[in-house]
Amino acid sequence: MLVSVCVASYKRPEGLKRLLVGLNKLTFNQSEVPEVEVIIIDNDVKGSAQGICREIEADFQWQLKYYVEAQRGISFARNRAIASVSQDSQFVAFIDDDEVPENNWLDELLSVQKAYQADVVAGPAIPNFIKDIPQWVTKGQFFEPRRYPTGHPIEIAFAGNVLIRNEILQKIDPVFDERFAITGGEDTNLFMRLRRAGYKFAWANDAIVHEWIPQSRTNIKWVLQRGYFGWSVHSWCESELYPSIPVIALRILKGLALIIKGLFLIPPSLFLGQHALIKALLNIFRGAGTFAGLIGIRYQAYKVTHGV
């Protein structure tokens, strides 16, 4: 069995090196040891990641493939990765260049896929803060992922930690919608399309990756922007993929409910601490993002690169 691990990278040499070191330590106890090809797509036209790949390759236990995708944007990089997957590959896994997998990461994804005959298997990305963080970040748990029991059916997945049957991806062209190249949300769009097509999703709670969170993200502005962006993308994709009055009406009600909830939470939050106030504001930003998505306003999340 061949598994293709795909990584889109853009000017994060230290992060990419951490990731490759982590991938080199993968172990398999529940699944038969597969063949693994690791595909690095460098979205920097200058090929800044090539030196890291050459440095690691000599002692790398898996096949390492490196390509440059000159057209800027996460959709283009990830589509190039899919195009570079070997024809006989059975599964494609995605992981980001600011993440590091635990040794059993891929083993867990494969074992859950087999146990539940899932088409898509996703796992959690646990935050790893590079520097000391403000107390409100810890109290508010703003970076903690939602988690489920292993095998739990899920509605959506994200490309930072996911395994997909390759035969599914080979039927789609392009896999990642190029309209999301700079805005991000291309993975939300893909997995909503796969759900609509009836493919089976499952959660692998022990398939853990650790996401390096730089100091530039541990601030109120970024947390609120992320809430706005995430809900706007979901709202936009849902209204486009399910263009019906009931769906749009429900999304409007959800947006209103979030804003009203946030407004009601502001007064008590003044006595509960900064984290409570930020949670109240986050509800308002999520509600605003919901309405922004319905009218097609998009935030360009990939204009700025965080981390190194």
Q: CA 270, 271, 274: angle at the middle one, nearest 5?
A: 60
Q: How far is CA 127 from the centre of its chain?
A: 13
Residue 304 banded pLDDT, cuts 50, 70, 90: low
Query: Domains in the chain and their CATH numbers?
Result: 2-215 (3.90.550.10), 220-303 (no CATH)
CB 14 within 8 A of CB 100: no
The pairing of beta strand 91-95 with beta strand 2-9: parallel
Neighbour count for residue 203 (Cβ, 10 Å) = 22
State the pLDDT at residue 286: 96
* Three-state SS at 306: coil
87 sits in which H/E element = none
Q: Which residue, 19, 79, 18, is CA-closest to 43?
A: 79
Overall average pLDDT of the 44-64 stretch: 95
Compute the average pLDDT of residues 280-300.
89
| pLDDT on residue 283 | 97
The pLDDT score that the predictor gives to residue 65 is 97
Cα angle 169-230-118, degrees, rounded to a multiple of 5: 35
Rounded-to-integer distance, Cα 177 and Cα 159, Å: 13
Q: What is the pLDDT of residue 292?
A: 93
Q: Tell me: the pLDDT tens digits for 225-281?
A: 999 999 999 999 988 888 889 989 999 999 999 999 999 999 999 999 999 999 999
Cα separation, 169 vs 244, whole angstroms: 27
Strand order across the 209-213 sheet: 99-101, 209-213, 125-129
Contacts of 95 (CB under 8 A, 6+ apart): 5, 6, 7, 19, 23, 101, 105, 160, 161, 209
- Please give the structure tokens belonging to residue 15: 């992060």
pLDDT value at position 132? 84
How many C-beta atoms surround the C-beta of residue 45 within 10 A?
11
Q: Name the band, by pLDDT with cuts 50, 70 and 90, for residue 303.
A: low
- What is the enclosing helix (H) or strand (E) of 11? none
Cβ-contact 157, 202 below 8 angstroms: no
Above 90 in pLDDT, residue 206? Answer: yes
DSSP 8-state assignment for residue 179: G
List Cβ<8 Å contacts ≥24 apart for 83-89: 84/6, 84/39, 84/41, 85/4, 85/6, 85/37, 85/39, 85/166, 85/169, 86/2, 86/4, 86/37, 88/2, 89/2, 89/3, 89/4, 89/37, 89/166
Read off the tokens for 150: 């292993």
Distance between CA atoms of residues 120 and 165, nearest Å: 7
* pLDDT bracket for residue 155 (50, 70, 90): very high
* pLDDT bracket for residue 82 (50, 70, 90): very high
